[in-house]
Structure 1
Amino acid sequence: MKLTRTKQYELPFAVLGLATTPDGANAYAACMDGSVHAVEMATGKKEVFEKKHSSYASGCVLLPDGKTLISAGYDGTLLWHDVATRKCIREVKAHSFWSWQMALSPDGRRVASVTGQYIAGGWKYEPAAESEPSVRVYDTASGALVASYSHTPPVLSCAFSPDSKHLAAANMMGEVRVWDVQAKGDKPVSQWTSPDFTSWGTTKSHHYSGGIYGLVFSPDGNALLGCGMGPMGDPMAGNGKMTWQRWDWRSGKKIDQIKDGQHGSGLMETLAFHPDGKHFLMAGRQAQGTWNAAVFSATDGSLITSWDSKSRLTHGRFTADGKSLVASVITGAGKVKPGQPWGAMGRVQMYSVEG
């Protein structure tokens, strides 16, 4: 498999969230100034949605009919936007803290958002208990709250199963929980902990860091993949092992993980399956090594291809035909002279996929 960048469009602010139409013709970018932008991928034409979040816009999802976009932000708010008019049609206060990540059920009926602040709960610096439900699920048609689930904060990632019946969420401590969204109550149907995504600082500062930043179910619904960064002694360095693991989510048993020698160091934050179900993408930011984005075999976990995008790749979305990948990017501002504005730090990219 070979991926080649074919298009790149600048946005004024770094991009934290990405949604796309199935054909990749249009992309929607949630940016660090709180704005959400629509990008026409053939021409690069850009339009900004009318209402901004009051803090970082952390994510966005597009409903299956293509008419409504829902965004989330560090203001703890979910905004419903009319795609045609770019106007906000609903605002829901989901959390008192940040929305770290959001996920849309494949049937388009539910949207989930996860939150939580890391506050030391004891002398061992273990996270304090949540002050509000860390996982909330809303009806996309009405905006009504349909479920609240407890987890240990901060909860950094979430994903729905292909049949829309289950929701998984993972936190900084490598704890994964899965709920049946059709059942009453908030007891998870499965939960487990992987110690391979969390660090305890032994130099400079002493606290936990890391976590599972990306989650995705396999297309057949039997496995769950998570990605992040392996342990490191200096939590400020950001140079832990790039890592992913795959689990049988019903039992929590680890099936596979990234192979030794196939990784560098840095935080991996996005996962996406190719439509063929035989490959998946993992990407993020590089600290050391030769790549920050790679495609792996879904059969045996081997590395198929990798590349260095020279910037932080926050999300990747394959088109329905599998021939293209749309990515959101954060790049450095470069040298900024005193009194001069920073350069554009956001990018939306398209890659062709061959083989």
Structure 2
Amino acid sequence: MKLTQAHDVTLPTGVLGLAVAADGRQAFVACADGLIYAVNPISGEVESFEERHQSFASGCVLLPDGRTLISSGYDGMLLWHDTSTRACWRRIRAHNFWSWRTALSPDGARLASVTGQYLPGGWKYEPSAEVEPSVKIFDTATGELVSAFSHTPPVLSCAFSPDGSHLAAGNMMGDVCVWNVHGAQAASETEVGVSRWNSPDFTSWGSTKTHHYCGGIYCLAFSPDGRSILGCGMGPMQDPMAGNGKMTWQRWDWRTGDKLGEILDGERGAGLMEALAWHPRGDYFAMAGRQAQGNWNAGIFSAVSGNLADSFDSKNRITQTRFAPDGTSLLVGAAEGQPRRNAGVWGAWGRVQVYRVSD
């Protein structure tokens, strides 16, 4: 599988969230200025929505009807927007801290949002206990809180299974927990989940300079057949301030936590990987993020062998990837460095890029 860049759209600020319409011809992005933008990735037309988050807009999901977009932000809010009028018509406080990541159930009926702040809880710098449930699920029709689950904060990623029956969430310590979100649940299952496991390859303890943990599982994605789950992030390093831990992905049997595969040492560089996307056929997946060392920050991997099939260095930080529903293109949301002022005007540093996919 090969990727060839076809379109490159510039936005005022860095892209943190990305949703793609069912026909693949329109994208919606959540940006660092708190605004949501509608983007035509072919023509390059960009239009902002009316209401912004009071901090970074961290994510957005598009409901199946195409008329409603729900955005999340570091202000802890969820905003419901009309995609035709660009107006916001519902506001819900989801968390007292950031919404790190959101996920939409396949039927569009449920929205999951995860939160949590890393604060040292003891002399070993282990994370403090959560002060609110780190994982919450909301009804997209009413905005009501449906479920809340405990996890070790900060929880950085979440994903629904293809049938919508289970939700997985991963944190900074490399812990993944999976819950059954359908029907009645026993109290014990609500607390501990269906399965839970830890991978030390997704966290770092600073043994030099500043002592703290960093890294984590920044994205989770169930395989299209629902049998396994992928996680990506950044692996161990001595100096967390350097941001040069190993680029990594692992694949697990989500019912047992058994590892089924991982990135090969000869195919990885250093940096934070924070975006995953399965090709609709299920035979390839994309991983992307920010590179510190190496020669690529976005790659396509075979789901059968785990080998790197193609890669490129976009020279920016890729935060989101989505395959078009027909699998013929890969859309990328990114932030290009930090903004600079020229004659008193801040430069644009957001990107939506489209890559053609060929076998």
Paired residues for 1:293-312 under 5 Å? 293-312=298-317
2:144 — aligned with what?
144
- CA distance in structure 2 between the aligned counterparts of 1:220 and 1:136, rounded to whole angstroms: 25
2:293 — aligned with what?
288
1:201 equivalent to 2:206? Answer yes
Paired residues for 1:158-197 under 5 Å? 158-182=158-182, 183-184=184-185, 185=187, 186-187=190-191, 188-197=193-202
Q: 1:349 aligns with which of 331, 337, 353?
A: 353
1:265 — aligned with what?
270
Point out where structure 2 has 5 or more consecutive residues left out of the alignment. none
- CA distance in structure 1 between the aligned counterparts of 2:244 and 2:214, rounded to whole angstroms: 12
1:245 — aligned with what?
250
1:112 equivalent to 2:112? Answer yes
Q: 2:230 aligns with which of 185, 208, 225?
A: 225
1:60 — aligned with what?
60
Render the CA deviation track for 1:82-127: whole Å, top value 9, x for unaligned: 1111111111000000000000001111000000000110000000
Q: Which AA in structure 1 matches 2:51?
A: K
* Contact in 2 for aligned 1:18/1:59 (Cα 8 Å): yes
Per the TM alignment, residue 41 of structure 1 is displaced from its structure 2 partner at its CA by 2.1
- CA distance in structure 2 between the aligned counterparts of 1:197 and 1:142, rounded to whole angstroms: 36
1:51 equivalent to 2:55? Answer no
Label 1:333 to 1:192 Cα distance change in 2 as closer, same or farther (>3 A). Answer: closer
TM-score (norm. length: structure 2): 0.97
Q: Which AA in structure 1 matches 2:120?
A: A
Q: What SS class does the counterpart of residue 236 from structure 1 fall into?
A: helix
- CA distance in structure 1 between the aligned counterparts of 2:339 and 2:220, rounded to whole angstroms: 32
Q: What SS class does the counterpart of residue 261 from structure 1 fall into?
A: helix
2:24 — aligned with what?
24
- CA distance in structure 2 between the aligned counterparts of 1:28 and 1:194, rounded to whole angstroms: 33
RMSD: 1.0
Q: Which AA in structure 1 matches 2:82?
A: D
2:76 — aligned with what?
76
Q: Which AA in structure 1 matches 2:264?
A: K
Q: Which AA in structure 1 matches 2:106?
A: P
TM-score (norm. length: structure 1): 0.98
Q: 1:210 aligns with which of 212, 215, 230?
A: 215
Q: Which AA in structure 2 matches 1:328?
A: G
Percent identical: 63
Bigger Cα displacement from structure 2, 326-335 vs 201-210: 326-335
Q: What SS class does the counterpart of residue 206 from structure 1 fall into?
A: coil
* Contact in 1 for aligned 2:339/2:349 (Cα 8 Å): no
- CA distance in structure 2 between the aligned counterparts of 1:68 and 1:335, rounded to whole angstroms: 34
Per the TM alignment, residue 300 of structure 1 is displaced from its structure 2 partner at its CA by 1.7
Per the TM alignment, residue 305 of structure 1 is displaced from its structure 2 partner at its CA by 0.7
- CA distance in structure 1 between the aligned counterparts of 2:339 and 2:129, rounded to whole angstroms: 40
Q: What SS class does the counterpart of residue 317 from structure 1 fall into?
A: strand
Per the TM alignment, residue 139 of structure 1 is displaced from its structure 2 partner at its CA by 0.5
